[in-house]
Structure 1
């Protein structure tokens, strides 16, 4: 007769010994664990050798895992960079355009500072300028030569006041509004400026031509002593322009003088100075002439 399959351990001494041994081992493991826990709490460094040994054993696997993660990240980064290349190129182009615009702005600021420093260098402490203004317009295509300033009566600008740049004379104010003024340029045919040669004081006058050039004509006719490169400055005669302001440079001597170019081209200057007339009487006479001319133009049919 076969033995039943559900026989209890009590029927087998071997099974009883196995169960008892399992209980004993389990109790010994619990006791050993409690002992290790107590020792680790009392003396944390007691098992450092075991931790070091475990770290050394796990080092190859950890290194391999780290390299695998780095390689994976590199692959994903390369894939992401490939798909983002267009966007990155667009951003780089925008940054380059912005940097180029900033460079142009910085160059413009440097040029503006250079012009302002040049203006500051010509200011005479004994004769304070009336105003510093922008040249905001000109009549370069007309036979008459005018310019417009962004300073007017509210800034102290009056008709008859000379206008100059850092490198020389620009013209004189002929009309002044509340915030703007009209300047008759040196190149205008109606503007006659008394000058002298800077090297020896030879007297002459500068008059504009209808084509934008200027003529330098001698007061004393005779042998023409002018030569190319002669520099002419205001003489102070007539009481309007202060003496010593550069006006023109001779380029082509002729029978009774020379043609030349301006020392200060209005097209090359942004900032100008408006100064007081050298003589108050000359300024008043000029203002009276302007007013009389305006009245005559109104009365004529």
Structure 2
């Protein structure tokens, strides 16, 4: 048979004592708690050691629970941060590639600007350029070295005019058509240019060899000691090439002269300037009676 729902302790002494003991413990605990509360309010430092001990016991538990809760809470943000960093890395790589391309374009524009400025500064006092035109071809595979200039008689070109680039002399016009001209380059075996050495003015001739170098021969044997690094410019002798145009740089000595490399490379150029034929000034007329 099921026990009755309303149990009363009156039927058992043991149950009555247990219930009474529970009441006594509850009342005693309440009184002790109230006393401790009154003491803590009157004298707070009295329980500082107890609070410190409790804190020492509960601190590791709180730290462990905080670490676990913090790790779990930060997990979504860490996952989102990983994907965000990955996307940011891809974006930065794309920006770096774009900046590198922009840098290369800026360098190319700076080089082009510098080259054009050099071309604009080719004007010599009292010697205006005839024309500035594009070099459309050169014979690099033959011992005869010619270049084709996209300007001719209609632009004022004629045989004998000197042709130069931003850095120095290229050659001279050999023949001209209506809109094109044939240029004899310095390295051609038929090319001979009167030159002088910049450090002391020693005169000589620079003759083409058919390759990429020039044979330099001194006029006076006393000045035959060319040294690597000597700079050669046009002397103006002969009436074709204006003076003081850079021609070549000595690279080595030879038995009776030197080998030099032209300062200008027509194969790597696109524009050149044509100058009128240079005529040295006439000597002043002699005074009567002399």
TM range, smaller chain: 0.5 to 0.7
Q: Which runs of 5+ in 2 are unaligned?
A: 1-82, 84-89, 281-290
Hey, what does 1:242 align to over in structure 2? 242
TM-superposed deviation, 1:100: 6.0
Q: Is the 8 A contact 2:202 2:223 kept in 1?
A: no
Deviations 1:12-51 (A, max 9, x none): xxxxxxxxxxxxxxxxxxxxxxxxxxxxxxxxxxxxxxxx
| Secondary structure class of the residue paired with 1:240 | coil
Distance 1:176 1:132 in 2: 15
TM-superposed deviation, 1:227: 3.1
Q: Is the 8 A contact 1:134 1:271 kept in 2?
A: yes
TM-superposed deviation, 1:267: 3.0
Deviations 1:28-82 (A, max 9, x none): xxxxxxxxxxxxxxxxxxxxxxxxxxxxxxxxxxxxxxxxxxxxxxxxxxxxxx9
TM-score between both structures, scaled by the size of structure 1: 0.58
Q: Is the 8 A contact 2:195 2:204 kept in 1?
A: yes
TM-superposed deviation, 1:275: 0.4
Hey, what does 1:172 align to over in structure 2? 172
1:65-104 equivalences in 2 (<5 Å):
103-104=103-104
TM-superposed deviation, 1:152: 1.8
CA pair 227-219 structure 1, distance change in 2 beyond 3 A: closer
TM-score between both structures, scaled by the size of structure 2: 0.60
Cα-Cα RMSD: 3.4
Confirm or deny that 1:233 pairs with 2:233.
Answer: yes
Deviations 1:115-147 (A, max 9, x none): 011122231242110111222211111101111
| Secondary structure class of the residue paired with 1:260 | strand
TM-superposed deviation, 1:107: 3.2
TM-superposed deviation, 1:165: 1.2
Structure with the higher fraction of residues in helix conformation: 1
TM-superposed deviation, 1:223: 4.8
Hey, what does 1:127 align to over in structure 2? 127
Deviations 1:147-203 (A, max 9, x none): 111222222111111001121110001122222211110000001001111222211
Distance 1:158 1:262 in 2: 24
1:1-301 equivalences in 2 (<5 Å):
103-220=103-220, 222-223=221-222, 225-228=224-227, 229-279=229-279
Q: Is the 8 A contact 1:242 1:277 kept in 2?
A: yes
Distance 2:129 2:152 in 1: 14
Distance 2:205 2:247 in 1: 10
Distance 1:125 1:219 in 2: 28
